[in-house]
Amino acid sequence: MNVSVVSVPRVVALRALMLLVAALLSVTIAVHTPDTVPDLVLPVVVAGALLGGPSRGGLVGLGAGWLVDLLPPGPSVLGTSALLYAAVGLLAGTGRREGPTPWGWVALVGAASAVALGTGRVVVAVVSGAAVDPTATGLGVLWSAALCAIAVPPLVWVEQSVAGRRRR
């Protein structure tokens, strides 16, 4: 079934809204808890990348990263989140499959994306001279991978429904 021209702006608007909500929730939760929290933006990027492939995944990641860069507290070097999320979107987009995608594959792509993002953040921290807490980083990667495994399938389903690609 072809996606109508009208549905493409709806999908882009929906994805932008999901990114904004996820980024704002991340900031709000991080301020109110000392515990390690999962990356709430990552599942939206992974879902967009799995639906659109590497190039769209990179663009979704770039937009998500700009949003994360601009929200407080933001990174010490502006633009690093944009580059990291773009790279993760490209990586996740290579996992795109035609037809039904098994949950195990989605979980694997989400875990690889979480590891890539965590590794990138450690590299940026080391290069900028910031302290790195290995325990918090490891927990963040585990939480983010688990969240991707749980949240990406429903996000993909919602985007496909909005685009009119789901059979009713």
Cβ–Cβ under 8 Å, residues 25 and 71? no
pLDDT tens, 36-72? 889 999 999 999 999 999 999 999 999 999 999 999 8
DSSP for 18-72, please give it. HHHHHHHHHHHHHHH-SS----SSHHHHHHHHHHHHHHHHHHHHHHHHHHHHHSS
Give pTM, 2 decimals.
Answer: 0.89
pLDDT tens, 82-137? 999 999 999 999 999 888 788 999 999 999 999 999 999 999 999 999 899 999 99
